[in-house]
Amino acid sequence: MRSLVFVLLGLISGADAARAQAWLTVADAEGRFQLEMPVPFDLPPAEVAPDGTVTFAYVHETPQLVLRFEVVDRNGATQTMPTADGWTWDSERIVQMSSHVVGRRTYRMVAIFPPELAGDALILHFMQSVRYHDDLN
């Protein structure tokens, strides 16, 4: 019983930490996506590949955690293909990824963190915050 109480207290304190974090809702100008990013976050300059593919990202980074939402616009038409959603890990970090493909655009959410942060409320909030509006693509 005592361990159950400690687990519940841990879950409650984790949820409080996510609520105590400042968040900002971001979206693209066309309204194709919307998500919540923890503050502070960066919007590094867009990268343009030789084939015309443009990638930009919103990035929140701390010494223990990286949360990244990437948008990849391909120059040519692409087919909808399976994405590598899920988790990978080694002894030092876990990489959690989720992708959504619509036409020429791929949206990718990435969280990189140490194993002790698995299930953290901040990561869950970020990964569950994205909303896509496919009918606008």
pTM as predicted = 0.78
For residues 78 and 117, what is the distance between their CA atoms, to the nearest angstrom?
Answer: 35
| Domains of the chain, earliest start first | 2-136 (3.40.1000)
pLDDT in tens, the chain (137 residues): 333 333 333 444 444 555 679 999 999 888 899 999 999 999 999 999 998 999 999 999 999 999 999 999 988 655 555 556 788 888 899 999 999 988 889 999 999 999 999 999 999 999 999 999 865 44
For residues 61 and 1, what is the distance between their CA atoms, to the nearest angstrom?
Answer: 37
Residue-wise DSSP of the chain:
-HHHHHHHHHHHHHHHHHHHS-EEEEE-TT-SEEEEEESS-B-PPPEE-TTS-EEEEEEEE-SS-EEEEEEEE-SS---------EEEE-SS-EEEEEEEEETTEEEEEEEEE-GGGTT-HHHHHHHH--EE-GGG-
